[in-house]
């Protein structure tokens, strides 16, 4: 770590901060000299993390689906710390099931958290970032480049989040604000492990996907790459770096030429996936909070 990758005197706000990538980034930001505002929907976890990090951290319970609640938390955090220099729009969830079997409310919830929640986070953070000429990083996904069967809501929302980040970057450049998008591949978090435990077909499908979509990244690596991206105000953060290959090959992956391969490799698993979701009796991971809102990506 170089001196330019430290955050001395700076403040970050992290949504979905209770666990996984969000909690890891919060710890790393404080280790590098910064202070952090923790926002999420799991108060016990948020309080424990804030206690662990000491006076450099404070937490607010807020739902990214509730604009007023989220604005109040962001404004309170800026007042508490006196500034906001970085924002990590990290809150996100996934759901189980194909389009034909997914309940309307399930699909809408994923989109509302993963896409609309990013919009609300950016909207309410921009006035504070303008004062510091700050930086926001939107957590999208490898899935924005490689849409997959059974993850329709997730892939659609993450592709939307990527494009929202790019559009917002254009809108706020004159304010001195930079907006980047982060694209993790499959990261070893509670949600990914839970999906593999719940749905054997999900694990099989991942294993059959072409490189780099068939690998799993360590949470610590994801945290380090995100912190580096925040310090360097990068417009693209790939986790791991080889995910960049998927970004550049998106046109091919979604083309007519690739369709026979995808249909042959993934197609046969779809009926199995639908049966597993039906037998499971739920369309989300057990690690998604039961309230209205968020979990970490």
Provide the strand spans (E) within 2-76: 11-15, 35-40, 57-61
The dihedrals phi and psi of 86, each to the nearest 5 degrees, come to -135, 145
> How many whole angstroms separate alpha carbon 138 and alpha carbon 182?
6
CA distance 27 to 50: 10
Q: Which residues contact 193 (CB under 8 A, 6 or more apart)?
A: none
Q: What's the distance, Cα to Cα, between the start and end of the chain in Å?
A: 25
Task: From 158, 161, 164, select the one nearest 185 (Cα to Cα).
Answer: 158
Q: Is 154 a catalytic residue?
A: yes
Given 29, 96, 135, 154, the catalytic residue: 154
Contact 220, 18 (CB under 8 A): no
Angle at 214 between CA 219 and CA 297, to 5 degrees: 35
> How many whole angstroms from its chain centre is CA 248?
20
Distance CA 183, CA 168 (A): 17
**Cα-based angle 263, 268, 270 (whole degrees, multiple of 5):** 95
Helix-strand-coil percent breakdown of the chain, rounded to 5? 55, 15, 30
Task: List Cβ neighbours of 143 (8 Å cut-off, separation of 6 or more).
Answer: 151, 154, 155, 158, 159
Neighbour count for residue 239 (Cβ, 10 Å): 26
**Residues known to be catalytic:** 154
């Amino acid at each position: 770590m170089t001196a330019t990758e430290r955050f001395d005197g700076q403040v970050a706000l992290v949504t979905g901060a209770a666990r996984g990538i969000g909690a890891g980034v919060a710890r790393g930001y404080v280790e590098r000299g910064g202070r952090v505002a923790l926002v999420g929907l799991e108060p016990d976890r948020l309080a424990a993390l804030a206690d662990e990090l000491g006076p450099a951290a404070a937490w607010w319970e807020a739902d990214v689906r509730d604009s007023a609640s989220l604005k109040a938390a962001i404004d309170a955090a800026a007042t508490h710390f006196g500034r906001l220099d970085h924002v990590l729009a990290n809150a996100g969830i996934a759901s189980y099931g194909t389009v034909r079997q997914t309940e309307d409310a399930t699909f809408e919830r994923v989109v509302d958290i993963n896409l609309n929640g990013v919009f609300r986070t950016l909207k309410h953070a921009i006035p504070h970032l303008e004062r510091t000429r700050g930086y926001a990083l939107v957590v999208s996904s490898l899935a924005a480049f490689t849409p997959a069967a059974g993850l329709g809501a997730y892939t659609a929302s993450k592709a939307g989040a990527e494009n929202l980040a790019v559009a917002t970057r254009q809108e706020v450049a004159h304010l001195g604000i930079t907006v980047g998008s982060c694209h993790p591949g499959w990261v070893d978090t509670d949600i990914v492990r839970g999906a593999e435990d719940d749905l054997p077909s999900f694990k099989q499908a991942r294993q059959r996907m072409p490189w780099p979509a068939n690998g799993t990244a360590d949470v610590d690596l994801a945290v380090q790459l995100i912190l580096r991206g925040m310090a360097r105000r990068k417009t693209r953060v790939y986790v791991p770096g080889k995910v960049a290959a998927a970004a550049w090959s998106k046109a091919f992956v979604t083309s007519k030429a690739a369709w026979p391969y995808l249909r042959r490799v993934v197609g046969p698993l779809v009926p199995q996936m639908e049966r597993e979701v039906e037998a499971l009796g739920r369309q989300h991971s057990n690690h998604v909070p039961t309230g209205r809102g968020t979990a970490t990506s």
